[in-house]
């Protein structure tokens, strides 16, 4: 018989773990259930913290992303202090080379806030030697950054364990049991587990447990390694219109990513990898000589409006934290903080209203089947 936690989090990717650590630090007892830690999108990501390079328009989403990026330095330092493990946070900036004038809209070359600066061909080649000859210039985003997302989720997992979160891998939540707009327990592959409050943080798989508009968007990736006799030639991320190249401090270089509507179809494909390699070599030709290290793929939790789903649900004791699409690594610290405020302090930040998704179709009075117990509309 499992002791009843204050909060049970379904999903142990970056979002579920970040919320678990935050709640535990505030005094809650927390359980995390995860079907497959390694299959999480959080392992597959590139780790860019890139609200500016992603060209998000002025919006609550941009505000949310910028707030999260500003939390990153202290948040990762806290995790590193707790665990003794690195997270690979690196405020390296992002260089966004372009190939045509169309991609340089000709607006101010340096905006007043200093978040972006235009570099012409000579300037960009001085700044980053070795770019392909098709590059005509590019934008420099000094405030964007990166984290080694695999190291980060490893550190989050360790932090959760060190703090006393009950973290369990290889356990699947099969049904969310509901009664009178309350979750009364979750049926798992092992047993029924109950808590006072529940969080849905199952990423691209959210739709398997509750009807939601989250669907998988597959991304294929690969990495190469800088040969040992060379100094790492890249000191910042390269983010071109059709490819990104993310150098890690340990000499790995991550290259991504495809964006495919193929459901949960696994594996890398020759055409996916060929496209990534062609684009990467066009952008940074010397990559063609580096040894390939690894291929992998993952599933982004996409939503129709590309916004995360955060906050209250039609069940009083169930909170949503899903649908982070392309920016879940970036959004982890702000999600953790806002969701912990909501659950533990009953404080709802005004930003949350923009990501709410609990418009109401009535919930049947009681269900303990696998049939979705309520439906939701945008
Ligand atoms: C190729 C690629 C590149 C990306 N690059 C970036 C980037 O550079 N920057 C950025 O910010 N974001 C990036 N992302 C997006 C980011 O990875 C995701 O938004 C983020 O990881 C989502 O985290 P999550 O915890 O919600 O989901 P996940 O990390 O997918 O974790 C969900 C977890 O829930 C578990 N689960 C699912 N169903 C159940 C169930 N029924 N019972 C129990 N457990 C369950 C899964 O096994 C999994 O462990 C990228 C994604 C991909 C695929």
- Token pair belonging to 22: 């935050």
Give phi and psi for 257, each to the nearest 5.
Answer: -145, 155
Report CA(264)–ligand 1 centroid distance (Å): 13
- Provide the 10 A C-beta neighbour count for residue 367: 16
Distance 48 CA to ligand 1 centre (A): 14
d(CA 351, CA 51): 16
Does ligand 1 lie within 6 Å of residue 272's CB atom?
A: no
Q: Give me ligand 1 centre to Cα 73, in Å.
A: 21
Residue 323 falls in which region: left (phi positive, over 0), alpha (psi -120 to 50) or beta: left
Q: Which residues contact 235 (CB under 8 A, 6 or more apart)?
A: 92, 128, 247
Ligand 1, residue 329: give the atom nearest the CA.
11
Cα 329 to middle of ligand 1, angstroms: 8
In the chain, the percentage of residues whose pLDDT exceeds 70 is 91
Nearest to 141 by CA among 50, 70, 47: 50
Pairing of strands 94-98, 237-240: parallel
Which atom from ligand 1 is nearest to the alpha carbon of 324? 19
Instruction: Identify the residue whose C-alpha is closest to ligand 1 atom 18.
Output: 328
Cα of 62 to ligand 1 centre, how many Å? 20
Helix (H, G, I), strand (E, B) or coil at 159: helix
pLDDT, one tens digit per residue, over 68-108 is 999 999 999 999 999 999 999 999 999 999 999 876 555 44
Closest CA to ligand 1's atom 25 = 13
Residues in the chain with pLDDT values less than 50: 107-108, 359-378
Tell me, using a 6 A CB cutoff, whether residue 16 lines ligand 1: yes
Res 377: pLDDT? 24
Residues 6+ apart with CB under 8 A from 105: none
Q: Which atom of ligand 1 is least distant from the CA of 221?
A: 1
14 CA distance to ligand 1 middle (Å): 7
Does residue 302 have its Cβ closer than 6 Å to ligand 1?
A: no
Res 104: pLDDT: 55
Task: Indicate whether residue 219 lines ligand 1 (CB < 6 A).
Answer: yes
pLDDT of residue 100: 93
pTM for the full predicted model: 0.94
CA 40 – ligand 1 centroid, Å: 5
């Amino acid at each position: 018989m499992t002791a009843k936690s204050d909060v049970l989090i379904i999903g142990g990717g970056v979002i579920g773990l970040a919320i678990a650590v935050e709640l535990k630090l505030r005094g809650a007892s927390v359980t995390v259930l995860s079907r497959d830690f390694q299959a999480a999108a959080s392992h597959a990501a590139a780790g860019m913290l890139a609200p500016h390079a992603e060209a998000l328009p002025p919006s609550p989403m941009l505000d949310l992303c910028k707030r999260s990026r500003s939390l990153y330095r202290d948040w990762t330092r806290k995790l590193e202090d707790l665990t003794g493990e690195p997270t690979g946070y690196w405020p390296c900036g992002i260089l966004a080379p372009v190939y045509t004038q169309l991609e340089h809209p000709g607006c101010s070359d340096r905006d007043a806030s200093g978040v972006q600066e235009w570099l012409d061909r000579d300037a960009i080649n001085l700044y980053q030697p070795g770019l392909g000859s098709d590059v005509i210039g590019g934008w420099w985003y000094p405030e964007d950054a990166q984290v080694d997302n695999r190291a980060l989720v490893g550190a989050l997992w360790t932090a959760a364990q060190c703090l006393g979160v009950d973290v369990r891998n290889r356990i699947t939540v099969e049904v969310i049991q509901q009664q009178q707009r309350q979750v009364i327990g979750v049926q798992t592959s092992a047993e029924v587990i109950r808590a006072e409050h529940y969080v849905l943080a199952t990423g691209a798989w959210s739709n398997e447990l509750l009807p939601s508009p989250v669907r998988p968007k597959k991304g294929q990736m690969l990495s190469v390694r800088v040969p040992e006799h060379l100094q790492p030639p890249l000191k910042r991320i390269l983010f071109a219109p059709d490819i990104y190249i993310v150098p890690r401090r340990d000499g790995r270089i991550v290259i991504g990513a495809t964006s495919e509507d193929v459901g949960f179809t696994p594996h890398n494909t020759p055409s996916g990898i060929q496209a990534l390699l062609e684009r990467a070599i066009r952008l940074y030709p010397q990559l063609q000589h580096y040894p390939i290290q690894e291929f992998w793929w993952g599933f982004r939790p996409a939503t129709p409006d590309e916004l995360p789903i955060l906050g209250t649900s039609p069940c009083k004791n169930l909170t949503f934290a899903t649908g982070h699409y392309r920016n879940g690594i970036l959004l982890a610290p702000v999600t953790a903080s806002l969701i912990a405020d909501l659950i533990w302090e009953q404080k709802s930040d005004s930003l949350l209203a923009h990501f709410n998704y609990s418009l109401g179709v009535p919930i049947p009075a009681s269900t303990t089947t696998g049939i979705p117990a309520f439906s939701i509309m945008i």
